[in-house]
Amino acid sequence: MLRQALLAISKSRRAERLVTSSPLTADVVRRYVADDIGAVVDRLTRNGLLVSVDHLGEEVADRAQAQRAVGEYLSLLDRLPAGADVSVKLTALGLRLSEQLALDHAAVICQAAESKAITVTLDAEEHDTIPGLHAVHATLRKEHADVGVVVQAYLPEALERCQKLGGARVRLCKGAYTAPGAYTSTADIDLSFVRCLKALMEGTGYPMVATHDPRLVRIASTLAVLAGRDVAGFEYQMLYGVRPGEQTRLAGLGAKVRVYVPYGADWYAYLMRRLAERPRNLAFFLRSLVSR
Ligand code: FDA
For residue 176, say whether it is annotated as part of any ligand binding site: yes
Q: Could you read off the pLDDT of 35-44 as tens digits, one per residue?
A: 999 999 999 9
Catalytic residue among 171, 190, 258, 266: 171
For residue 199, say whether it is annotated as part of any ligand binding site: no
Q: Could you read off the pLDDT of 86-97 as tens digits, one per residue?
A: 999 999 999 999
* Ligand 1 geometric centre to CA of 238 (Å): 7
Q: 245, 248, 264, 226: which is closest to 87 by C-alpha?
A: 264
* Ligand 1 geometric centre to CA of 21 (Å): 26
**Residue 124, ligand 1, Cβ within 6 A:** yes
**Residue 238, ligand 1, Cβ within 6 A:** yes
Q: Could you read off the pLDDT of 160-211 as tens digits, one per residue?
A: 999 999 899 999 999 999 999 999 999 999 999 999 999 999 999 999 999 9
Beta-sheet strands, E only, within the chain: 50-55, 85-88, 119-122, 148-152, 169-173, 206-210, 235-239, 257-263
Instruction: Decide if 41 contacts 77 (C-beta within 8 A).
Output: no
Catalytic residue among 123, 161, 190, 266: 123
**Residue 10, ligand 1, Cβ within 6 A:** no
Query: What CATH code is assigned to 34-266?
Result: 3.20.20.220
Structural domain boundaries of the chain? 34-266
**Residue 123, ligand 1, Cβ within 6 A:** yes
Q: Could you read off the pLDDT of 209-247 as tens digits, one per residue?
A: 999 999 999 999 999 999 999 999 999 999 999 999 999
Using the predicted structure, report yes or no on whether residue 284 has a pLDDT greater than 80.
Answer: no
Q: 261, 237, 232: which is closest to 247 by C-alpha?
A: 237
Residue nearest to atom 41 of ligand 1 (CA): 176
Other C-beta atoms lying within 10 Å of the C-beta of residue 178 = 15
> How many whole angstroms separate alpha carbon 203 and alpha carbon 223?
12
Residues 6 or more apart in contact with residue 85 via CB below 8 angstroms: 50, 51, 52, 53, 118, 119, 120, 121, 148, 258
Per the annotation, the verdict on 30 as an active-site residue is no
- The DSSP secondary structure of 140-209, one letter per residue, reads HHHH-TT-EEEEETTSTTHHHHHHHTTTSEEEEE--SS--TT---SHHHHHHHHHHHHHHHHHSSSEEEE
DSSP-derived 3-state class of residue 77: helix
Res 229: pLDDT = 97
Residue nearest to atom 12 of ligand 1 (CA): 212
**Residue 3, ligand 1, Cβ within 6 A:** no
* pTM (2 d.p.): 0.94
